[in-house]
Structures are given as C-alpha cells and as structure tokens.
Structure 1
Amino acid sequence: MEHLRTHYTTLSHARADQLLYWRDRLSALVDLPVTRAGIAEGFAGTVDAWRVGDLAVSRSDADPMRQDRTIARISTDPLNYFVFHVLLEGEMRAECALGPRGRFEQRRPGIVAMDSNQISRLDRAKCRVLLMFVPRYLVQSVIPDGDALHGRLLEFDAPEAALIPAQLLALWRALPSMDTEQAYSAIRDCALLILAAFGRTSGFCGDVRVVQRTALFGHVRRYIETHLHAPQLTPEMVLEASEMSRPTLYRLFEHEGGLAAYIRGRRLRMAAATLSSQPGRPVSEVAYSLGFQSAAAFNHAFRRAFALSPREFRAAAEAEKVARAHRPRHWMAVFSNG
C-alpha cells in the first residue's frame, strides 16, 4: 500500500506562473478557468496532502478560484470518488446541475459532499479547506444511494456532526507520526464518521424503513436503467411495473427532483455518453434512441441541462479528449511531488 506525503505551493513561482502552475497541478481532477487578468494578478495557493492506498486527505489554503467538473469532462474522464469539502475558514458557492439542490452558498464551517461523476461548479472565496477523497465503494457501504449525496451540505452545528471537527484536526496532527496501516485506518475511520453523519441527517441510513427504501429505490432505478431506450418509459410505466402505490414511488424520487426529472436526467446523461463515445453518430439518432419525440425537444432539454447544444457538447468532448492526453494519466497525480 502506497503511503505518500505531498506539499506544493505557488509561492515559490514567479507571479506570472502561479495561476498556471496551480491549474496544471489540479488538472487531473478539475478544470480551472484562467484569464489574462488572473495570470497577471498572481495566485497564492498551498496544498499539503496525504495519500494512503485508495484514500487521500489534503488541506488547501488558496486565493479565490472557480473549479468545474463539466459534462464533457465527466463523459471522457469519469472518477469513482466522492470529495468531501470541509470548509474551515472562508466561503464557498456551489452549483450542482441536474439536481434539486441546484445552487447554495456555504458561509459557516461545514462539509459539502461532491460526487466526481456528477456535474459541479465550486466558486471559492479566499478560504481554508480540508478535502477528503473517498472511493465510491466505501461511500456505498454506508449509504447505498450514494448518488443522492451530491451537493448536500452538513453543518458542524448539527448534532450528528458535532464530533467531526475535533476528529479531523486530531487526524491531521497525528498523520506525520503514523505508519501506513495506522494512517489508512485513521483516514478511513474519519471518512466513515462523515458518511454516518450525512446518512443520519439526510435519512439515507439508520433504521429498517431506510433499508427498505434503499432497496426499493435500487430496484426501481435498475428498471429505469434497463428501459432508458424505450420511448414508452414514463412515470406511469414505472408505476405499473413497480407495483407500488403512486405516493410511495414518488416519495422515493423526491430528492432527485421527482421521478420524471430523474428519468429525463438519466436519459440526458446517457445521451452525453453516447455523443462522446460515438462521434460519428447523428444527433437525431441519439435523440430518438433515448425516447425523445423530436430532435428539437432533445436539443432544448440538452441545452437546458448542460448549457450546451448536443453539437457544442460533442465538440467540447472531442477537445477534452485532446486535453486529456496532456494530463497525468491518473487523478491521484494531484498528490505526487513531481
């Protein structure tokens, strides 16, 4: 098991190189828009991190910045990790597309859960943030419906989260003196503590009813995935196949913005993946294959969801493939000392 400590800072670089250096260091994970004015102003940013096996934790002190995980990036460079942003000082604004939470601002200390395989934009003021990188399998061992965590906020004044700040600070202080097994166990324990708090506050785990709800949700979601290409896939079709009451079924998808919104979102994500992986396939054919009644309806829904037309997205995805060839091969290169 690899056990690596990382430290890097922009402050050792010339002012004109600082923002570009920061962008390149984080490029394996996120996109950071860069402007000429931003380059001229310089950028102060420092990261200290520990990576142990498939877990990682880092502390970042940085000037204001924006970081994106776009649909083009996700479609060509998926990551099966959740990133928990623990805001220690400062403010942060987040946007999560295709979700009912949409936009929110975090002004008080707390934790934001972000799924790297879902669209996001983070606008961070000058702040201090601790990041915990947790693989999807570990998240789903506690919260089977892990996708629903994306964009959720857990404030430290919630009773379930009261112990987390002290545990995180103790972890950070102790990591330098730990061996590999101790470090892995300690990071994992903190990750499980955070997941348990999210699970209890969000109602995603904790009692028999939650287990039943999770099982039902998984059953219905699998049915939807199997029938995404069926034009007749509608909430009514799902209701009939599920043999549930309408209120029960609809409650399962409240946190997804409703059943119809969930079906539409999954179809659009499937469309994006197809447009990226099959660049020669006509857009209209992709639209009809996923149950859209017309190319115009598909174009409208796609643009509304992703702020790009299907053709614009396809061009962005092709550009992303080219850019990916110049990035580190693995996202954990963010934690390298090279």
Structure 2
Amino acid sequence: MHAASLAKGARTATPAGASPRPAWRRGCTAIMSSAMRGAVKSASDPQAPLPPSARLGWVRAFDTAALPANERYEVWRDGDVANLSTRYETTPEEPFAAAMDWLDLGTLGIGHAVFTSQQWERTRQKAARDDNDDFVISVRHAGAAIFEMDGREAIAPTGSIVIADMARPKHHYSEASISTGMALKRADVERLFPSTRALHGHVVAPEHAALLVSHLALLRGQAEHMPAASGPMLAQTILDLLSVSVAASFAERPVDRDRHERALRVQLRDEIERNLGSPSLTVARLSRSLGVSRSTLYRLLQDEGGVQAYVRTRRLEKVAEALRREGGRGTIAALAERWGFCDAAYLGRAFRETYGMTPGDYHAMHVAHPRL
C-alpha cells in the first residue's frame, strides 16, 4: 500500500494569496478541535444543538492528504491528535501519511485510522508520567504488526485484535495499516473479563476476531444511516462481540471469581510487603503492578479499611516490632525513613493514635517487660 493512497477524505483549500504552511495548520487545527470535542454541528447554524433525530456520523479528525509531504509527520506529531504523540514515541518507516476519523456512540468512542508504516513505543516513563491506565483495543483491518510487550513478541496479522494495557510499556512496528481503535476504562474491562493481567499484549487471532472485525467494517459504511439514539446499543454490541472474541481466543471456561479474588488478594499483600519501606508505594503503583483498577484494590482490602489504611497499619506494625527489640529503638527519624513515613513527627502521631503511647514509651515498656 503506497503512502499517497492511504489518506483520503476531507481536504482543506489554500486561501488565495496565503502561504501553504499557515493555511494547512489552520485547517488541521480546526478539523482536530472540532472532532476531538465530538461536536457535529448543523451546517446552517454551527451553534445549533443536534436535533433528537440526528444521525450518527464519522467525523474527520485529521488528514494529511492536503498537506505538503515534507510537513505531514511534523503537523501530525505536533498536533498530538487523540493524544497519540503524548503517549507514544513514533518513528515513520516511510514517507508519512495518515487519516483519522471519529465516531461518537454516546457511551463509547471509536476511531478509524489509516497510517503508513511506523514504529510506536510507549516507554515506562511515558506510562508513569501520564498515569493513563486504560486498555486500548486495536482491530486491524489491513496491515500486520509485530508487538513486544512484557518481554515477549507477538504478531498481529490482518483481521486480528490487539489488546494493550496503557499502564505498561510496549513497542510495536506496524506495516501500512487500516485499523479501528477504542480505549476502555480499566473498571469496564474488569466487568468484561474475570482477569485483566493476561490481556496486555494479547492477540486475538482472525478466526476468533472475525465477528467483531466484520461488524466494525459494516459500521464504518453504515453508521450514517443510524439514528444517534442507537449509539449506546451499538456500543454495547461492540463490547459484547469483543468479550466473545477474547473468550474464544483464550478458550476460557467459567472462572470462579471468588477464587480469583483470593489469589489476587495474596498477590496484593505480597506486593505491599516487598515494597513496604518504599515511599513510592502508592495505590497508582499497585494498580499498575497488578493490572487492576483502584476500585478493585479497595475491594480486595475493604475489610482492612482499604489499601492506604492497610499499608499504614503494616508499617506501624514493623515500627512496633523494631521497638520491642532491646536496643532496637534507634531514632524515630530513622524508623520513619526505613518504613516509608514522611517524617518523625508524622510517625509519632500515627503511632500514638494506634498504640496509645509514644514510640519511646512503647520501647521503654517492652524493654523493661520483655514478655509484653
């Protein structure tokens, strides 16, 4: 597939007497801002709200077709369309061309993208910086890709589905491609699948993905004939087909959710114990490490008051354990630093609230009466 044939659609004319570069940038900016707001306005009255009978429709978010060839990648990258430049480091493998459309289904947004071949990398630093923990679903209508996620490689052929956890790093090379993509909140993915940890880098083969792939291809051509009110139903159909496709690819049998949560609770406690003294032990870090949402983390330790309360309790127990040892008092500042408290004063207050005395009194009592 040649780069010149990849991006077709809306074009922006250059005003007479104006230099091409500013005109292209103004045109692209106008297209992008309109599409990203999801604002499909009446042609006769841009301020008029959509009537209830409005139809669904794909909105052109970006197109390089009208841009000078030597500016296409720069304009796309600097425009940060759909936050792609923020989330990925990219390297074109051939002269760059792209076209991106957006369809708002009310409860779900989906994008249709045409790209020339390119390297895409989501580094660990970018994942930590933007704190995005959505799952991205990519349905490949044309063009294969090679992915590397969590140290393992996978090939995604035409007709496959690729799932990526945005909280974790990934790298992939894609041929010139046509794809449909969507971002799902972690909590929504957890409602679809009993376990999310194995989803990162999972490729659903074409034979299992066929129903969703063909449905999205049909929606690409027929959305404009559907009323806007049908958007949420169409979104649910997409999610149902995704769930069926992924389940078929894993050949899953019904999972005992209680057993799964018990195992996850053990994992969570082990992760906390390994990092108990680290000041960077946060809910966000645990969420990324275990591949679950914050609400799931809270539910796993709800009986202990939630994750933060559990971590605080375990840290105080470690401090108390040190204080019970003869000669183990040291300094409160040293204990605070060792067990992840921000300073000695905070540790002192927290310890008194829990044990009813200062750390010094607690140490003195247990040294004087070792059996206490």
**Shift, 1:20, TM fit:** 1.1
**What residue number does 1:143 align with?**
193
1:87 aligned counterpart, secondary structure: strand
Cα pair 1:32 1:65 within 8 Å, conserved: no
Question: How far apart are the structure 2 equivalents of 1:63 and 1:32?
Answer: 15
- After superposition, the Cα gap between the structure-2 partners of 1:81 and 1:176, relative to the gap in structure 1 and judged at 3 Å, is farther
**What residue number does 1:165 align with?**
213
Given residue 170 of structure 1, which amino acid in structure 2 is its aligned partner? L
1:33-48 pair list within 5 angstroms:
33-34=90-91, 42-48=95-101
Given residue 226 of structure 2, which amino acid in structure 1 is its aligned partner? M
2:83 aligned counterpart, secondary structure: coil
Given residue 108 of structure 2, which amino acid in structure 1 is its aligned partner? L
**What residue number does 1:293 align with?**
none
**What residue number does 1:14 align with?**
68
1:55 and 2:105 are equivalent in the alignment: no
**Shift, 1:164, TM fit:** 2.1
Given residue 72 of structure 1, which amino acid in structure 2 is its aligned partner? Q
Cα pair 1:10 1:45 within 8 Å, conserved: yes
Cα pair 2:144 2:174 within 8 Å, conserved: yes
| RCO comparison, higher one (Cα < 8 Å, 6+) | 1
Given residue 216 of structure 2, which amino acid in structure 1 is its aligned partner? L
RMSD, aligned α-carbons: 3.0
**What residue number does 1:109 align with?**
159
- After superposition, the Cα gap between the structure-2 partners of 1:289 and 1:46, relative to the gap in structure 1 and judged at 3 Å, is farther
1:28 and 2:76 are equivalent in the alignment: no
* Offset from partner CA, 1:59-108 (integer Å, 9 cap, x none): 111111112211111111022321111111111111113x5xx1122234
Question: How far apart are the structure 2 equivalents of 1:213 and 1:108?
Answer: 36
**What residue number does 1:283 align with?**
none
- After superposition, the Cα gap between the structure-2 partners of 1:106 and 1:201, relative to the gap in structure 1 and judged at 3 Å, is closer
**What residue number does 1:222 align with?**
268
2:90 aligned counterpart, secondary structure: coil
Among 128, 131, 146, the alignment partner of 2:178 is 128
Cα pair 2:142 2:159 within 8 Å, conserved: yes
Among 143, 166, 176, the alignment partner of 2:224 is 176
Question: How far apart are the structure 1 equivalents of 2:77 and 2:38?
Answer: 25
How does the TM-score come out when normalised to structure 1?
Answer: 0.59
Q: How many residues are matched?
A: 225
**Shift, 1:129, TM fit:** 1.3
Given residue 104 of structure 1, which amino acid in structure 2 is its aligned partner? A
**Shift, 1:225, TM fit:** 3.7
* Offset from partner CA, 1:204-226 (integer Å, 9 cap, x none): 6x42x443442233222322343
Could you list the runs of 5+ residues in structure 1 that have no partner in the other structure?
Answer: 232-252, 254-287, 291-338
Could you list the runs of 5+ residues in structure 2 that have no partner in the other structure?
Answer: 1-36, 41-57, 278-289, 291-337, 341-372
Question: How far apart are the structure 2 equivalents of 1:28 and 1:107?
Answer: 25
**Shift, 1:228, TM fit:** 3.3
Question: How far apart are the structure 2 equivalents of 1:289 and 1:74?
Answer: 27
**Shift, 1:135, TM fit:** 1.9
- After superposition, the Cα gap between the structure-2 partners of 1:80 and 1:3, relative to the gap in structure 1 and judged at 3 Å, is farther
How does the TM-score come out when normalised to structure 2?
Answer: 0.54
1:201 and 2:249 are equivalent in the alignment: yes
Cα pair 1:171 1:186 within 8 Å, conserved: no
- After superposition, the Cα gap between the structure-2 partners of 1:217 and 1:22, relative to the gap in structure 1 and judged at 3 Å, is farther
- After superposition, the Cα gap between the structure-2 partners of 1:13 and 1:152, relative to the gap in structure 1 and judged at 3 Å, is same
